Structure 1
Amino acid sequence: MPDPEFEVPVGLFQDIEDLKAQLAALNAQVKALTESTDGEVGEASTDDEADAGDEPEEGAEAEDDEWQFPPFILLLDPPQYDDELRALIEWVEGVLVPGYLGEPSADARWCHLWFEHPVAIARLHALWLAWQELTDPATCGYTGPSAWHRDHLDPCLRELRASTGPFAGCTKGEHQVGHRMPGTVPSAWNHIEED
C-alpha cells in the first residue's frame, strides 16, 4: 500500500528551520555555561584547583569588565558611543540604504541625516545587531536572513519610514530633529547615581 500523499505548507519548513537554529543557539549557550561552571555553585572545579598557582593572563581581568553582548547604543558614553555610531553609519550607508531603501516619498520617508535622530539611531542599531547575529550561519543556520527580514527589517522600516515616524518633519529640502526630541531623558538612561 503506497504512503498517503499530503501537502506540507511552505512556511512550515521555514518555521522548523528557525526552531532548529534557535535550539542550536540554546544548546551552544548551555554548553558554554556548563563548561565554565563544571561543579555546583560554590564548588571549585578540578581545573580551577590545578590552575590555582598559575599567574592570571594579562587580558583575563579586562575581559571580565567588558560587556558580554553589545550594549544598547543610547546607553553608551563617548568614546564607545562614537565608535559604535561610526560603525552603524558604515553599515546603514553601505548595506541598508543601497540595498533596501528606495526613493523617499510621503509614504516612505527617509532623512539623509538619520544619525541626528535618536529614535532612528536606536532602531537602526537594534536592526544592525540583529543583522550581525542572524547572518552568521554558526548561530542561526540558513534561515537567519529570512527571520531578519521578517522579524526585524520590515517592522523597523515600517516604523522609521511611516508618516508619523522620526522623519515625519523631514522632506527632501528640509531636515528637522527638534520635533521628535523628548523634553527629558528617562532616569534609567542616566549613568549618574542618585545620592
Structure 2
Amino acid sequence: MADDPEPGPDFEVPMGLFQDMEDLKAQFAALSAQVKALTESGADGAGEAFADDDASAGEEREEAAEEEDEGTFPPFILLLDSPLYDDELRALIEWVEGVLVPGYLAEPSSDARWCPEWFEHPVAVARLHACWLAWQELTDPATCGYTGPSVWHRDHLDPCMAQLRGSTGPFAGCTKGEHQVDHRMPGIVPSAWSRVED
C-alpha cells in the first residue's frame, strides 16, 4: 500500500492581515502621489528647492568622502613636497623619538647600529615612515582586531629594524659621535650599456 502524502498545514490567514496590507498599499499610493506632485510642480519652486537641497547634500557627501579618503590613506612621505613633507617628517620624528626609540631600541652596537640623525638618511625616513603607517593601522582594534600589534611586530617592525640597523644598512657608516650621510651614495657604475665605442 502506497503512503498518501500528508496534506500541508491547515491554517487560516487572519482578516486583519488583509486589512493591514490594504492600508499599506493605500499609504504607498498616497506617498507616491505626493512625491510625483512635488517633483513635477515647478510653479511654486518647491520641486526645485527639493532638487537643490538634494544636489547640495550630494556634493557635501562627495566632499566628505574625499576628505575621509585623504585622511584614511596618507601618502608615502617620499611622494610629498614641502611644506607637506616637512609636516609629515615632523610627525614621524615625534613617533620615532617618542615611541620607537625609547620602547624598542637598545644601545647601538656594531650589530645594531642607529644614527641619532636618522632623519638625514632618506632610506631611513622611507622605511620608518612605512613602519609608522603600518603602526597607525595595526594598533587600532577597530581596523585590525586584537592581533594587529602582533602582526605589526612580526611583519613590519622586525624587518624594518633588521634592514636599518644591519651592517649594510643606511647607518653602516655612522658610528658613535660621528654622522655620515653620503657614505651610501653610489658612484657611477661602469656598464656595458654605457661604454663608449672607440
TM-score w.r.t. length of structure 2: 0.62
Corresponding residue to 1:60 among 58, 63, 80: 63
Can you give the 5+ residue segments of structure 1 that lack an aligned partner in the other structure? 1-47, 185-195
| Shift of residue 51, structure 1, vs aligned partner | 1.6
Higher helix share: 2
Report what 1:189 is aligned to. none
Equivalent positions of 1:131-150 (< 5 A) are 131-150=135-154
Deviation by residue 1:20-66 (Cα, 9 ceiling, x = unmatched): xxxxxxxxxxxxxxxxxxxxxxxxxxxx9982365844992894697
Are 1:98 and 2:73 an aligned pair? no
| Shift of residue 175, structure 1, vs aligned partner | 0.3
Counterparts of 2:98 and 2:150, CA distance in 1: 20
Report what 1:163 is aligned to. 167
| Shift of residue 182, structure 1, vs aligned partner | 5.6
Deviation by residue 1:100-153 (Cα, 9 ceiling, x = unmatched): 000000000000000000000000000000000000000100000000000000
TM-score w.r.t. length of structure 1: 0.63
Identity of aligned residues (%): 77
**If you compute each CA radius of gyration, which structure gives the higher value, 1 or 2?**
2
Report what 1:129 is aligned to. 133
Report what 1:108 is aligned to. 112
Counterparts of 1:76 and 1:183, CA distance in 2: 26
Can you give the 5+ residue segments of structure 2 that lack an aligned partner in the other structure? 1-50, 189-198
Distance of aligned partners of 1:121 and 1:183 in 2 relative to their CA distance in 1, 3 Å threshold: farther
Counterparts of 1:148 and 1:55, CA distance in 2: 38
Counterparts of 2:58 and 2:139, CA distance in 1: 38
